[in-house]
């Protein structure tokens, strides 16, 4: 019998998206019951939100690694390899470990649950929880997928810390049509005896719904994060930040990420860090400051090249698009912007297109590498009033943009994580 490889396993897993199904969390909890709840063997931070989970989770993970902890981090979507979703101290799970953990879980499934009853995302969640226990991590930083209430990660026991990054409109067909409905869904990850952190710049209705759920579930403490003082440098070289929050006081520290959204994410990280200081889980500020100086996050205002300036950003909803363009205008008020754009059909692409159309000098349309969900280049071109070209893929689009660019041009690649992923995989070849 041929060995079961990681690639063969992924092919045979149930590829359905079951995020809207109301019975999934209960099913996964039964599996975790049989496994002896591996997530209870380490401390957990559980994150939910529309935008900012990846950046906040990455910053928290790196800060705790700097403090000497063994850190598991679960995040989606992956940019290049699905196994990137499961990492320990920045090293992703390998194929053999993934398969071995899968087999172990299969051997302990309840008798009425088969492997095919569990979707591929749910398998990643289960394998992550068990793998982190097997590897004896100290902390697991677990980012929710879409939700929420029915998100597979909500099957875990009560985490020590629950974090809400910025909540806005996305996945409305699943989460609800209003901020109140979306926030109510996401707030269902709150469990008893957990400390809840809420990122700054939230809609009032989101804060209200989080607070209502927190009160209902008798959380340990609710902390609303304050904004940080910062002076953004003008050459796209990062940010200078002053921090004063409780025991955490640092002056004029360089922060390697750019934009107001990242400052909000950092503010949340600082609030959590201050709580950890208070509870003697970290000592001093060195691990936080080192993270701020060194942090790099692919696909989040990522500068690929500087002549011309090429920025890659995974903004894929209206809130993300708005915050991206605000950052660009703040940093280069008189800039000339060429946007390489691709959208998925199930996103609010018309609203995003209007945002980019207002500031673009030129647009290059690319169909993201997800043929079932992607808009065609013809469909994308029709969304814009500004001059628009089409490109067969992201690499060709970047070559076209370079030909159009001058010394004042900023090339921005955005609209879909699939487009970001495609360019992240191949842009090096275009720079040769």
349-397 per-position pLDDT tens digit: 999 999 999 999 999 999 998 878 899 999 999 999 999 999 999 999 9
What is the average per-residue pLDDT within 95-118?
97
Q: Can you give the pLDDT at residue 372?
A: 83
Put residue 299 in one of left, alpha, beta given phi > 0 → left and psi -120 to 50 → alpha. Answer: left
Dihedral of alpha carbons 47, 51, 57, 63, sign: negative
- Tell me how far the alpha carbon of residue 130 is from its chain's centroid: 22
Q: What percent of the chain is helix, strand and coil (3-state, nearest 5)?
A: 45, 20, 35
Note the pTM of the prediction, 2 decimals: 0.91
The residue among 415, 391, 397 whose CA lies nearest residue 313 is: 415
Beta bridge partners of 162: 46, 196
CA dihedral 62, 63, 68, 70 (to 10 degrees): -50
Q: Quick: pLDDT tens for 274-324.
A: 999 999 999 999 999 999 999 999 888 999 888 899 999 989 899 899 999
Of the given ranges (60-74, 127-141, 224-238), which has the lowest mean pLDDT? Answer: 224-238
Dihedral of alpha carbons 195, 198, 204, 206, sign: negative
Q: Can you give the pLDDT at residue 430?
A: 47
> Which pair of structure tokens corresponds to residue 56?
């906040």
Q: Can you give the pLDDT at residue 232?
A: 62
Termini Cα distance of the chain: 45
Q: Quick: pLDDT tens for 59-69.
A: 999 999 999 99
The domains of the chain, with CATH numbers, are: 6-294 (3.40.1190.10), 302-430 (3.90.190.20)
Distance between CA atoms of residues 123 and 301, nearest Å = 30
């Amino acid at each position: 019998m041929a060995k079961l490889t990681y690639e063969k396993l992924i092919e045979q897993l149930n590829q359905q998206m079951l995020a809207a199904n109301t019975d999934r969390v209960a099913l996964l909890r039964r599996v975790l019951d049989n496994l002896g709840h591996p997530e209870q063997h380490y401390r957990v931070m559980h994150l939910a939100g529309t935008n900012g989970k990846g950046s906040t989770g990455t910053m928290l993970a790196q800060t705790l690694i700097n403090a000497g902890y063994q850190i598991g981090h679960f995040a989606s979507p992956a940019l290049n390899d699905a196994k990137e979703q499961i990492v320990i101290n920045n090293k992703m799970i390998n194929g053999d470990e993934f398969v071995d953990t899968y087999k172990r879980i299969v051997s302990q499934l309840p008798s009425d649950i088969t492997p095919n009853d569990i979707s591929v995302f749910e398998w990643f969640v289960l394998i992550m929880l068990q793998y982190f226990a097997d590897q004896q991590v100290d902390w697991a930083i677990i980012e929710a997928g879409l939700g929420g209430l029915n998100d597979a990660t909500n099957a875990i026991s009560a985490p020590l810390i629950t974090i809400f990054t910025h909540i806005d409109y996305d996945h409305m067909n699943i989460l609800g049509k209003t901020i109140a409905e979306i926030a109510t869904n996401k707030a269902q990850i709150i469990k008893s005896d957990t400390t809840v952190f809420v990122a700054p710049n939230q809609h009032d209705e989101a804060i209200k719904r989080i607070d209502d759920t927190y009160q209902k579930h008798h959380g340990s403490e609710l902390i609303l994060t304050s904004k940080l003082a910062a002076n953004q440098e003008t050459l796209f070289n990062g940010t200078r930040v002053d921090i004063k929050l409780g025991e955490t006081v640092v002056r004029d520290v360089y922060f390697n990420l750019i934009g107001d959204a990242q400052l909000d994410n950092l503010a949340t990280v600082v609030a959590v860090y201050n709580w950890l200081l208070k509870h003697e889980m970290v000592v001093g500020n060195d691990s936080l400051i080192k993270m701020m100086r060194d942090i790099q996050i692919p696909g989040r205002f990522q500068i690929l090249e500087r002549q011309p300036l090429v920025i890659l950003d995974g903004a894929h909803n209206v809130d993300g698009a708005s915050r991206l363009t605000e950052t660009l205008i703040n940093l280069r008020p008189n800039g000339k912007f060429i946007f390489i754009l691709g959208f998925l059909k199930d996103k609010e692409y018309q609203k995003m297109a209007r945002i980019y159309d207002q500031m673009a000098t030129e647009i290059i349309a690319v169909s993201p590498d997800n043929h079932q969900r992607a808009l065609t280049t013809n469909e994308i071109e029709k969304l814009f009033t500004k001059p628009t070209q089409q490109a067969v893929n992201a690499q060709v689009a970047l070559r076209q943009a370079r030909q159009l660019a001058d010394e004042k041009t900023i090339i921005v690649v955005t609209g879909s994580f699939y487009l970001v992923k495609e360019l992240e995989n191949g842009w090096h070849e275009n720079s040769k």
